Amino acid sequence: MFSKYKASVIDKCKFLIDCNLPSVEHVELTARYTKPVIIQKSKKLMMFVYHFGRKTKPSSQLLSNDKNQSIRIDQLFSPDCDGNKPKTVILSGDSGRGKSFMLQKIMLDWASGKLYSENFDVVFLLKWEEVKFLSQEMSLNELLSWSCSLTSDHIPEVQKLTPEKVLFIIDGIDEFFFDSYIQISSTNLSQKALPMDTLRSLLNGLILPESFLLVTTRSAAHALISILKGPQRFTEIMGFSERGVQEYFQKFFQDEQLFRKTYESLKTNETLLTACSLPLLCWMVSFCLKKHLTDDDHVMRELKTTTSIYVLFVFTLLEHHGHSQSVFSTLKSLGVLAEEGMKKQQVFFDERSVAKTGLDPATSVFLYKDSLKRNNRQVPVFRFMHLSFQEFFTALSYVLMDEESSWSKIRELCYWLKDEIYRPSPERSNPNHSIMLFLCGLSNEEVSSSLFEKIKQTVPHTIILKQELYISVIRAIDLGHKLFALHCLYELQDKRFVSEALTPNIMDLSTVSLRSTDCWVLLYCLQCCPHIRDLDLMNCDLTAEKLKILQPALRMCKTLRLSVEHLSEAGDLIQSLGESKILSKLNAQEDEYSAESLRWSLDLSVTGGVVLLSLSSERILSFPAVLEISLTCPQSETSSIDWTLFLQRLSKTGKVAEDSSALDEHVSLLLSSFHSVGLKTLDLKLVSLNESWASGIISLVQTCTSLQELSVGVTGLLLEEGLMLLKKSLTDPHCTVIIEGFVCSIAVQTDLSEDTLSFKKLVVFFCYFLIQDHNTNYFLAQHG
C-alpha cells in the first residue's frame, strides 16, 4: 500500500539544495544531516509557563514528565512514565533551528522504512504556508491530494486507513492567526470547507480523532495547548550541540585537514561558535569560510552579529556567482520583492511578480524555484531560500531607500510593532520583529560601512533611523519585552546607545527563558552598563554552561538572584564570586518546576570581607539528610572550595543508605570541604545525629583550626551512639560545639500497664574555659 507515494517522498526528500546555483551539485540529505538537540519539556514547567502567560489552568491533556530531558526523533511518540502515548507532539523552535530540515529527514526515513514503520502506515506532510495559498473549498482528501501529490488511486486507500496508523505532520503553524469566532464544521474526510477550516478540524480532532499529529511552530509552544487535541507532548528544538557543530563542519568540508583548520579557528570565537548552534547560521558560516579560505581569520573577526553573518553570506554569493544586474540594483530588487511579500503575508511569488522587480527568476541565487498545484496543474513559483532572507532583504530595502522614504517605512514598521510584536504568542510570530532586528544590525556602523563600501554607495545618514530604533527599543523595555530589546541593542553594537537605553540600575529577566545565544547578548549589554548592579534571573532555564558565559558580568553585580535546575550548576559561579569586590547579596535557588529537585536555596551576603552563607531545602527530608547549613568565613576563602562538588554531595546526602559504610565516607567527604577555608562559624540542621555524623563533626573540629563555633540542631533524635562518641572525642576542643536535639526515655511501670515513652530536649555544650583553675570540658542542660 502507498508504495508509489513512498517512492515519491524519497525522490522529493533525498537531496538538499543549498541555493539556486547551477554549479551547486545536489547533496544527499543523509550525507549532511546532523542530529539536533531536542528537549522534552516537563509537565510542571509547561503548567508554570502557561499559568504565568495566560493566568488560567492549562489543559489536563499534558503528558506526565518529571523533568526537562533530551529526546530522540524516534521517541517522540513513545509512552510517558504512566504509559500514555501523545496524540499530538508540538515541536517549537526559533527560525533557523532546523525544524523543516528535521521533518524532511523524518519523511525520508519513514518512506525508506527506517523510522516509524511499525507505528504508522502512512505519514502526510502539510506545509502551513502552502495551505494558506489556497482559497477554494476542499475536503481533507482533496487537500492531501493537492499537498502530498496523491493520485486518484490513493484516495480510496486513504478512506480505508486505520486512523491510529496515520501521522499528519504540519510544518510552520506559526503563521496562522487563530480566530475563535470561525465555525469549524468539517467532521469527516470528504466534507468540504475552506482549507484552513479543514486543517483546523484535523488539529482539534474533529476529523480522524484517533490519528496522530506532529506540529512545528515558531511561536511559544504553550500558546497551542488549547487548540490541539491531546494528550500532548511539548518539545523544543535547540539546534546543534557543540559536538553537533563540529560534526556538521566535518560533513560540510569533507576534507579532514580543511575541516580541522577551519573548526579550530571557529573555536577561538566563542560567540560565533554559539551562533552556529542554529543550523541555518552554521550552514551560512560554513559556506562563507569555504569561499574565504585564505582569509578565514579576518572573516571570523567580522562576524559579531546575526546581521553581519547575513551580510557576508549575501555578498559571498554575489561575489562568486555572476548576476545580470549591478550589486546595488540586485539588492534593491530583492528588497522590493521581499517587502511586497511581507506586506501581503506572502512567501510564494509567480514569475511575473519576480520579473517586475527587474530580477531574472532563472538566475537569481537567492530565490528557490518550486511549484504549487492550482486548478489541477503545476504552477511554477519562487520563494526566498529561507523566510529569514525575506525578512533580511525587507530590512535592507528600507536602508537602501532615499532618506524620506526610509523614514516613512521605518515609522510604519514601528507603528505595527507597537500593536503586534508585544502581544502574546501566537500573534508574535508576525515577522516584523525579525525585520526590526535586521534594521538594528544594518544600523551597526561596522556593518553599514562594510555594506555600502561593497555596493559603492555613500553611507546614508542614520541619525533619524537610530532615533526611531531607540524609541522602539525603549517601548519594548517599558512593556516588559526586555529580551527582544537586548537583541536589538546587541545587533547595533553601540555601547553609548546601549547604556542610554538601559538606564535603570536594576534588570529583571525573571521567567524569561534564556538560550546560550541570549546569554552572549545579555553579557554584552551588561558589560556596556556597569551601572546595572541588581540582576534577577529567576526561572530563566539557566545551566552551568550559560552561567559560565555570563560570569564576567555577574561578578560585577551587587545583588544577584538566579535559579537553576540543580544548585550544583551554580557552583563555579559561587566560587568565582569570592574574588568579587562588588557583590553584597546572592540568592540562588533550584527551579520551581524541577519536580525531582529538593528545592535547595542558597543565600550569600558579604559584609566587611566576611561571607555569611546559608543553605536550606524546602522539601521535607528524611534521615540522613541535611536540612540546613549556615557558615561564616573570609570572602577570599570561598574561592578555595569546590562548590560544584560540595553541592552535588549535599543533594545526595538524603539518598545514602542509613548505617552503611557509604554514609561514613559521604559525611566525611561533605564536611571535609570546610577543613581549610578559614571557617569561623558553622551551623548544621540535621534530621538525626548518629555515629557517622558525630565522626564527621569530630574530624572537622580537630582539623579546622580557624573554627570558633559549631552548632548542630537536630530535629529528630540525638542517638546515644553519636552522643557517646562526641563526649569521648571532644574532651578538649579548641572551639565551642553546641549540640541540640531530643533524647528518648522510657518510664517503666511497676504494675501491668504499658511503659511510658517520653522525649526530652537536650542541649550539650563542648567548650574550653577556665573557672578557678578547673578545666570544664562539657556540660549538659536538660529541658523537660
DSSP string of 457-478, one letter each residue = -PPPP-HHHHHHHHHHHHHHHH
* pLDDT for residue 592: 75
> Could you give the CA distance from residue 312 to residue 292 in angstroms, rounded to a whole number?
11
Cis peptide bond prior to 86, omega within 30° of 0: no
> Could you give the CA distance from residue 606 to residue 585 in angstroms, rounded to a whole number?
7
Residue scoring higher pLDDT (179 or 157): 157
Mean pLDDT, to the nearest integer, of 531-558?
A: 95
Mean pLDDT, to the nearest integer, of 377-405?
A: 91
| Per-domain residue ranges of the chain | 3-239, 242-303, 311-501, 503-596, 598-784
* pLDDT for residue 780: 47
Say if residue 768's pLDDT is above 60: no
> Could you give the CA distance from residue 142 to residue 679 in angstroms, rounded to a whole number?
76
* CATH homologous superfamily for the domain 503-596: Ribonuclease Inhibitor (3.80.10.10)
Mean pLDDT, to the nearest integer, of 72-92?
A: 92
Distance of CA 619 to the CA centre of its chain: 27
For residue 480, which of 430, 421, 405, 413 has the smallest C-alpha distance? 421
Mean pLDDT, to the nearest integer, of 214-230?
A: 79
The residue whose grid cell reads 530583492 is: 334
What is the grid cell recorded at 496? Answer: 553609548
Per-residue confidence at 774, pLDDT binned at 50, 70, 90?
Answer: very low
For residue 644, the surrounding DSSP H or E stretch is helix 643-652
What is the grid cell recorded at 415? Answer: 507603528
Mean pLDDT, to the nearest integer, of 254-264?
A: 93
Q: Is the dihedral of CA 402, 404, 405, 406 positive or negative?
A: positive
* pLDDT for residue 107: 97
> Could you give the CA distance from residue 316 to residue 311 in angstroms, rounded to a whole number?
8
The residue whose grid cell reads 557543540 is: 242
Say if residue 206's pLDDT is above 70: yes
* pLDDT for residue 295: 78
The residue whose grid cell reads 504549487 is: 372
Tell me how crowded residue 68 is: count the other CB atoms within 10 A of its CB: 20
* pLDDT for residue 82: 83
Q: Which residues pair with 27 in a beta bridge?
A: 16
Residues near 427 by beta carbon (within 8 Å), at least 6 away in sequence:
177, 420
User: What's 24's DSSP letter?
Assistant: P
Residue scoring higher pLDDT (578 or 738): 738
Per-residue confidence at 181, pLDDT binned at 50, 70, 90?
Answer: very low
For residue 659, which of 620, 682, 688 has the smallest C-alpha distance? 688
Answer left, alpha or beta for residue 376, where phi above 0 means left and psi between -120 and 50 means alpha.
left
Say if residue 513's pLDDT is above 70: yes
Q: Are strands 534-542 and 559-564 parallel, antiparallel or unpaired?
A: parallel
* pLDDT for residue 242: 95
Per-residue confidence at 751, pLDDT binned at 50, 70, 90?
Answer: low
> Could you give the CA distance from residue 259 to residue 702 in angstroms, rounded to a whole number?
57
* pLDDT for residue 521: 97
* pLDDT for residue 333: 95
Say if residue 421's pLDDT is above 80: no
* pLDDT for residue 136: 86
> Could you give the CA distance from residue 451 to residue 113 in angstroms, rounded to a whole number?
48
Angle, CA 151 vertex, CA 148 and CA 157 arms, to 5° = 90
Say if residue 769's pLDDT is above 80: no
Q: Max Cα separation, the chain?
A: 113
Which pLDDT tens digit goes with each residue over 600-623? 999 999 998 999 999 998 776 666
Cis peptide bond prior to 22, omega within 30° of 0: no
The residue whose grid cell reads 511497676 is: 750
Per-residue confidence at 154, pLDDT binned at 50, 70, 90?
Answer: confident
Q: Are 240 and 34 in contact (CB under 8 A)?
A: yes
**Poorest-confidence range of 352-361, 388-397, 740-749?**
740-749
Say if residue 366's pLDDT is above 70: yes
Mean pLDDT, to the nearest integer, of 410-421?
A: 71
Per-residue confidence at 776, pLDDT binned at 50, 70, 90?
Answer: very low
Which pLDDT tens digit goes with each residue over 451-471? 988 888 877 666 777 777 888
Q: Is the dihedral of CA 721, 722, 724, 725 positive or negative?
A: positive
Question: What is the overall mean pLDDT for the chain?
Answer: 84
Mean pLDDT, to the nearest integer, of 180-195?
A: 73
* pLDDT for residue 148: 80
Q: Which amino acid is at 691?
A: E
Mean pLDDT, to the nearest integer, of 81-92?
A: 91
* pLDDT for residue 756: 53
Mean pLDDT, to the nearest integer, of 77-105?
A: 92
* pLDDT for residue 378: 80
In percent, the amount of the chain with pLDDT more than 90 equals: 49
The residue whose grid cell reads 490519528 is: 211
Say if residue 379's pLDDT is above 80: yes
Domain 3-239 has CATH 3.40.50.720: no
Per-residue confidence at 326, pLDDT binned at 50, 70, 90?
Answer: confident
Say if residue 662's pLDDT is above 90: no
Say if residue 753's pLDDT is above 60: no
* pLDDT for residue 427: 37
> Could you give the CA distance from residue 56 to residue 204 in angstroms, rounded to a whole number?
20
Say if residue 157's pLDDT is above 90: no
In percent, the amount of the chain with pLDDT more than 70 equals: 83
Say if residue 65's pLDDT is above 70: no
Residue scoring higher pLDDT (417 or 275): 275
What is the grid cell recorded at 557? Answer: 553585580
Per-residue confidence at 479, pLDDT binned at 50, 70, 90?
Answer: confident
Angle, CA 102 vertex, CA 4 and CA 364 arms, to 5° = 85
Residues near 733 by beta carbon (within 8 Å), at least 6 away in sequence:
701, 766, 767, 768
> Could you give the CA distance from residue 392 to residue 390 in angstroms, rounded to a whole number?
5
Residues near 63 by beta carbon (within 8 Å), at least 6 away in sequence:
43, 80, 82, 84, 86, 231, 232, 233
Say if residue 430's pLDDT is above 50: yes
Say if residue 44's pLDDT is above 90: no
